[in-house]
Structure 1
Amino acid sequence: MSTTKQVKTWFQIHKWTSLICTAFLLMLCVTGLPLIFHEEIEGLEPRLAPTLPASTPKVSLNKLVETGLQANPSKVIRFLYWDDHQPNTVTLSLSDSLTAPPTNFKTVIMDERTGKVLEGPNDQEGFMYVMLQLHTDMFMGMGGKLFLGLMGMLFVLAIISGLMLYGPIMKRFDFGMIRTEKSSRLKWLDLHNLLGVVTVAWAVVVGFTGVINTLSEVVLGLWQVGQLAEMTAPYKNAAPLTGKLSSLDQAFEVTRRAAPEMEPYLVAYPGTMFSSKHHYAVFAKGKTPLTERLIKPALVDAKTGKLTDMRDMPWFVNALFLSQPLHFGDYGGLPLKIIWALFDLVTIVVLISGLYLWFARNKATKAQIARMGQSKAKQIENAEILTLNSPATDD
């Protein structure tokens, strides 16, 4: 393929991938800004649990579950977990039934030292909830997630095609040039190119991890039909559970003994999507900043209280868990989050300038076609592609 055809091909790829995804990328960048600082924003919320002496003993998990269900007699418990932003609390996720859809739930927050039910905020309202839903699925569920994943892939392709166009140009010009003596369109073009190259590594990382995050339900589904099915296979033909379940405290204790370097943080009850009909699924995470994103599931027989299996997650599940904090810059504390926010703002400028350049180029091309006639349309389009970055080019 000739150089001219290569440039035209990359130009068309860059143009159309950018045009298709830009509006959605702008929305993701705007909603992503407050989400970068979600931990700091959530930290401003008042603590639900009162201050008590550090030596205050904790109520047993069995007692907490019993109290939570007594306050909600028509509900069943599906999950129990700890919220890092609300110390000294345990959260129960209740539902109308174990087979109800994931959106059917009610959270009950309890003081793990007194066993009292606390008045918590509504997690399904407010500014941060709206930002999160727009950013993850646009309130469209899994279909919205997959659509945004497609937009993320187009964004990555737009970045690659932009580099393929910008690389040959920089062989002829100084890096970072801004042709201020030329037209407004050329100044914006140079600024668009410069900012795009400066943020390229960040944009690829955030775009790629964003695509991975949109596949979370697919990834967890593969884990369910793969590793989880293998772990629960010996119980496939077992009789249904009857009577009282074994101690939840015991399930956590056997998990701690099996993985002393990890800390249990969530349990899925028997019959839920992340367990089996016969097990507590206790999920443990590492205790250090480097390992806290690596999850290990333990299956505890809900009748006998014995550990039946515990394995490391498959690589593709770990990739998902590791990509989630990287997407929002959660690995390096506030300094990294500030850098992430600055790159986000620069990317907004790149996206807006790209739209401006397309509209300006389209307008200029139409004006020339009107002056010169339709027979020159193809030549003008080719000239726009091949000479736009020439020093002699002007509007």
Structure 2
Amino acid sequence: MTSRTLRAWYALHKWSSLVCTLFMLMLCITGLPLIFSHEIQHARMPEPQEVAPGTPAPALDDIVAAALEARPGEVVPYLFFDDEEPLLMVASAADYMSAPDDFHYQIFDLRSGQKLDVPQPTEGIMYILFKLHVDMFAGLPGMLFLGLMGLLLVVSIISGVVLYTPFMRKLDFATVRVRRGSRVRWLDLHNLLGIVTVVWLLVVGFTGSINTLATPIERMWQASELVEMAATHRDRPVPTQLASVDEVVGNVRRALPEMRVTTVAFPGGPFASPHHYGIYLTGDTPVTSRLLTPALVDAGSGEVTAVREMPLYAKILFISQPLHFGDYGGMPLKIVWALLDIVSIVVLVSGLYLWLGRRKAPLEKRLAELDAGGLVTENTP
């Protein structure tokens, strides 16, 4: 590698790292507890009451009615079925187009209809960490900005890998020179941990950038695929009497028996249409359980009118979301993800330490020191 090429890679690594490091450090710190958010949420739930054998399950319509009775003047835009327990989360809001942050959530036991007293998911420290991690409380601009920082992380990692060989060519792999001063020790540790976690950092950085496009992807799907699915009812009058939720869910389950209903979107919301319920289902394999399949159900008759797979761009989003948090392999993979997250924090902090105490020696001189058996005492984050 020529001196000019090396200098270009070095500058690319330095500046891409410096711009994104503080934001990546914030994302690693906030992301650590979010890896276990599902487990934390379930730990905060009270134990449901025991249900006697043979007790008939309550109707979904009765649960919706109970939720509306507790929140007078509101509507129910969504129902969310828990993927592990027989629980139903009912979202209510001032209108069907309200933002999710304005929803009030009530959780019911599907076996007994018991309402569980649980904290609101839009309150507390986990919600603050989630918002910091997703958009820094800045909405779509914040999401897109963090996506840009994720792409800079990918650039930083790739350029760091390119620089690893010339900077470490006189040392054995995994060498940490513990007797040559704290800066050299941190330099070797930074390089070692960075190269060991390179694949994980690339995966997390790239999937994180994809996840920041969730809102544009949702809007693109709503404006194209959802409109096409609902086109057959475009010229019909909007139903004044909605079909029973139990009937709607039952018809979808009979039409797609191999799939599981996860979400019911009520007519008039952004994920349904004025004429339809939007029912979202998942499969039963590790991959298909993360992919949503939408079905539209006539809001008046309860008849299933359209079922369509999500387009490729939406599937990429659905696959990247759980991969970003290590949510494919259960608790063992989550623990691995958490350990790698901690290692990444060390990489970022050590990079900042090395840059803040950097030497002013030219790049060529430091490489010459390596060739002569000396020390490289500067590297960027």
The secondary structure found in structure 2 opposite 1:292 is helix
Find the aligned partners of 1:206 and 1:389 in 2 and give their Cα distance. Answer: 33
Per-residue deviation, residues 264-320 of structure 1 (Å, max 9, x unmatched): 121000110111110000111113434211211100000111111001111121111
Selected match of 2:319 from 286, 298, 322: 322
Q: Equivalences for 1:10-49 in 2 at 5 Å?
A: 10-47=9-46, 49=48
Q: Report how far residue 40 of structure 1 moved.
A: 2.7
Identity of aligned residues (%): 46
Q: Equivalences for 1:229-240 in 2 at 5 Å?
A: 229-240=227-238
Find the aligned partners of 1:338 and 1:384 in 2 and give their Cα distance. Answer: 42
Q: Report how far residue 114 of structure 1 moved.
A: 3.4
Cα distance change on mapping 1:173 and 1:114 into 2, 3 Å: closer
Letter paired with 1:14:
H
The aligned residue for residue 346 of structure 1 is 343
Find the aligned partners of 1:185 and 1:217 in 2 and give their Cα distance. Answer: 43
Structure 1 residue 83 corresponds to structure 2 residue 82: yes
Structure 1 residue 355 corresponds to structure 2 residue 352: yes
Q: Report how far residue 252 of structure 1 moved.
A: 1.1
Find the aligned partners of 2:45 and 2:101 in 1 and give their Cα distance. Answer: 26
Q: Equivalences for 1:164-243 in 2 at 5 Å?
A: 164-242=162-240
Selected match of 1:251 from 233, 248, 252: 248
Cα distance change on mapping 1:191 and 1:33 into 2, 3 Å: same
Q: Report how far residue 89 of structure 1 moved.
A: 2.7
Structure 1 residue 297 corresponds to structure 2 residue 279: no
Check conservation: 2:79, 2:91, Cα contact below 8 A.
yes
Cα distance change on mapping 1:381 and 1:69 into 2, 3 Å: same
Q: Report how far residue 101 of structure 1 moved.
A: 3.2
The aligned residue for residue 277 of structure 2 is 280
Check conservation: 1:18, 1:158, Cα contact below 8 A.
yes
The aligned residue for residue 370 of structure 1 is none
Q: Report how far residue 171 of structure 1 moved.
A: 4.4
Larger Rg: 1
Find the aligned partners of 1:116 and 1:186 in 2 and give their Cα distance. Answer: 61
Cα distance change on mapping 1:181 and 1:70 into 2, 3 Å: closer
Structure 1 residue 108 corresponds to structure 2 residue 89: no
Check conservation: 1:7, 1:386, Cα contact below 8 A.
no
The aligned residue for residue 70 of structure 1 is 69
Per-residue deviation, residues 346-374 of structure 1 (Å, max 9, x unmatched): 1111111111111111xx32xxxxxxxxx
Check conservation: 1:178, 1:190, Cα contact below 8 A.
yes
Letter paired with 2:19:
I
Per-residue deviation, residues 221-244 of structure 1 (Å, max 9, x unmatched): 1111121111012222322232x2
Structure 1 residue 333 corresponds to structure 2 residue 322: no
Letter paired with 1:165:
L
Find the aligned partners of 2:86 and 2:335 in 1 and give their Cα distance. Answer: 29
Find the aligned partners of 2:102 and 2:341 in 1 and give their Cα distance. Answer: 34
Q: Which runs of 5 or more residues in structure 1 are unaligned?
A: 366-379
Check conservation: 1:196, 1:350, Cα contact below 8 A.
yes
Letter paired with 1:178:
V
Find the aligned partners of 1:278 and 1:160 in 2 and give their Cα distance. Answer: 50
Q: Which runs of 5 or more residues in structure 2 are unaligned?
A: none
* Between 174-183 and 326-335, the greater mean CA deviation after superposition: 174-183
Letter paired with 1:325:
P
Q: Report how far residue 386 of structure 1 moved.
A: 4.1
Letter paired with 2:362:
E
Find the aligned partners of 1:120 and 1:389 in 2 and give their Cα distance. Answer: 60
Per-residue deviation, residues 111-154 of structure 1 (Å, max 9, x unmatched): 33333443221222222222211111112222211111111111
The aligned residue for residue 157 of structure 2 is 159
Q: Equivalences for 1:109-128 in 2 at 5 Å?
A: 109-128=107-126
Cα distance change on mapping 1:335 and 1:311 into 2, 3 Å: same
Check conservation: 1:11, 1:385, Cα contact below 8 A.
no
Check conservation: 1:182, 1:394, Cα contact below 8 A.
no
Check conservation: 2:93, 2:103, Cα contact below 8 A.
yes
Check conservation: 1:49, 1:88, Cα contact below 8 A.
no
The aligned residue for residue 266 of structure 1 is 263
The aligned residue for residue 138 of structure 1 is 136
Letter paired with 1:392:
G
- RMSD over aligned CA atoms reads 2.0
